[in-house]
Each structure stands twice: as C-alpha cells, then as structure tokens.
Amino acid sequence: MNSTTMMGCAAAAFMALLGSFQPFAVAAHEVQRAPTGVAAATPRTILWRDPQPVIAARYEVQVLPAKGSAKATRTHTWYFFRDAQRVAVIKGDIEEAWHRDAQDRVRFERTFHDEQRVVEYSTGELATLGVATDWQPIATFIDARELALLKPMATRGSDLCAAPVLVGKVGAATLRVHWMPDLQLPALAERREADGSRVRLVLKQSASRAPAEWPQPGVRGADYLRIDAADFGDMAQDTTVRKAEAMDASIGWRSSQHRH
C-alpha cells in the first residue's frame, strides 16, 4: 500500500493524474542544491517552515493531453483552505478536509454534494489503509519527497517573495515547481509525462481570509448523512460507498483486498 496524503484526495480519475503532488514529509536540508553558477541556490530553511500561515487560495488545475490525442483539455477550479487544525479543498461537487486534534491525531472526511453524504475516515481507519498523516506535508499541497529530487534552477519575484523554480525528473516524468516560501504553497506545479501529457496546478489568488464570494468548506454539507469508512463492508452496494472506494483505489489507498 502506498502512503498518500492530502492531494491524493480529489475527483476520482482526475486525482490519479495528480499523484505526483501527494505529499510526504522530507526535511528541508534533503532538497538538492542548485548546480554551480545557477542563480537560484535557495537556503533549505526558506523552502519549509512550520507552522504554515493561515491561508485561503484559489487554484486553476489543468489536465492537458498529449499532442495528437483525441482527449480535450480539462480545466478545474480548486479552493484551498489552511489553518492550524484543518486543511480543506473544495473541488466543485466534492470537498475534502483533514482535521488535527490537540493530540496531533489526524482524521479525514470527503463530502459528496451530489449524494448529500459525508464519508469519515478516523485516525484508525487511515492507519489501516496505510495513509500517511504527517501534518506539514498535508498542509503544503506538494509532494515533498519528490520535491527533494528537484534542483533549483531560477527564482521569480523579489527577494522578499522569491519563488524558487525547481525542476527535475521523477521517474519517467518531469516535475516543475515554483515554490512560494512566504505562503508555503506552490505558485505552480506541473508534471509532464513521457508521452507529453501534463497536469498543471496554478495559484490564481490567495488571502489570509477567503473572499466572501468563495465557497466555504463544511457549510453545504453540515446536515448531510455521515458514513464511517470502517463500515464500507456492510454497505457494499451503496452508491456513495462505491464512489468513495473507487476514489480511494485510484490514489493507492485501497485495493480489492482492502474491501471489508
């Protein structure tokens, strides 16, 4: 079972394409140094900071097919929210949120607005599924383990708000990240596969408090029926359960062997 965290939670097949952005905890000093002569050598202490600032951000996410493919480009808007106890992402008709308590226990919930259901994953259930719950990588919207494989190539912006540009190979794919140390978020993260297809995550807007016109996490689903993921085995034919299981499987949380 592969350990995955926050960004492994999204609209089913779409999130499978964003698997490169599922975070893992990696110490800042493990990020490789820039090649000699490159202007972007960035102190590792700038890349990662804990705690991360409270923030709301709007991202554009594009899935771009390989050249010559019959598939069309897909564009989505995601709303990201982070504070000390919660990280949430709203992706159209699906919301996902991680919650941390005073004992640093982490739980997860996925809200399906079409079905008006909330699926809850307790700390114990996440452990059973092999899901990593380190808070720092959950809160930074990036795969730090893969970020550690990249090399700083340039910087964008002023010295106070410089965004290191990190580029490198992760397996057969090429990953490019414009990291914003002040926000502890990527301004851009792009993964290009060997066939030329790409997934791009682009920061469009951010603020310490979400604008009034943005959707707010947890509001629409406040009165929805709640389902415990540990009970999936007793609800095998339930539409929401089947949908949740398919999403889990697409990001490596679950296989046919993990169905209760």
> For residue 19, is pLDDT > 90?
no
- Measured at the CA of 138, the angle between CA 99 and CA 167, to 5 degrees, comes to 165
Of 177, 12, 21, 144, residue with least CA distance to 91: 12
Q: Is position 158 within any domain?
A: yes
- Render the chain in DSSP notation, one character per residue: -----GGG-SSHHHHHHTGGG------GGGSPPPPTT-TT---HHHH--SSPPPEEEEEEEEEEPPTT-SSPPEEEEEEEEE-SSEEEEEETTEEEEEEE-TT--EEEEEEETTTTEEEEE-HHHHHHHT----HHHHTTTS-HHHHTT-EEEEEES-STT-EEEEEEEETTEEEEEEEETTTTEEEEEEEE-TTS-EEEEEEEEEESS--TTS--TTTTTTTSEEEEGGGGGGGTT-HHHHHHHHHHHHTTS--GGG--
Pairing label, strands 55-64, 198-207: antiparallel
CA 58 to chain centre: 13
pLDDT number for residue 3:
34
Q: Is position 66 within any domain?
A: yes
Residue with tokens 């010295």: 159
Mean pLDDT of the chain: 79
Tens-digit pLDDT profile for residues 135-148: 877 888 776 666 77
How many whole angstroms separate alpha carbon 148 and alpha carbon 24?
A: 10
Tens-digit pLDDT profile for residues 212-258: 999 999 999 999 999 999 999 889 889 999 999 998 888 888 864 44
Residue 9 pLDDT level (bands cut at 50, 70, 90)? very low
How many whole angstroms separate alpha carbon 31 and alpha carbon 215?
A: 35
Beta-sheet strand order (sheet of 225-228): 151-156, 163-170, 173-180, 185-192, 198-207, 55-64, 74-82, 86-91, 94-100, 106-112, 117-121, 225-228
Q: Is residue 214 within 8 Å of residue 58, measured between CB atoms?
A: yes
Q: Is position 257 within any domain?
A: no
Domain of residue 177: give its range.
Answer: 6-252
Q: Is position 29 within any domain?
A: yes
Element (H, E) at 55: strand 55-64
Tens-digit pLDDT profile for residues 23-74: 333 333 333 333 333 333 344 445 667 778 999 999 999 999 999 999 999 9
Count of domains for the chain: 1
Tens-digit pLDDT profile for residues 90-109: 999 999 999 999 999 999 99
Q: Is position 136 within any domain?
A: yes
115-129, 183-197, 201-215, 246-260 — which is least confidently predicted? 246-260
Q: Is position 260 within any domain?
A: no
Torsion, Cα of 27, 203, 55, 26 (10° steps): -10
Percentage above 90 pLDDT, the chain: 50
Q: Is position 214 within any domain?
A: yes
Rounded to two decimals, what is the model's pTM?
A: 0.79
Q: Is position 258 within any domain?
A: no
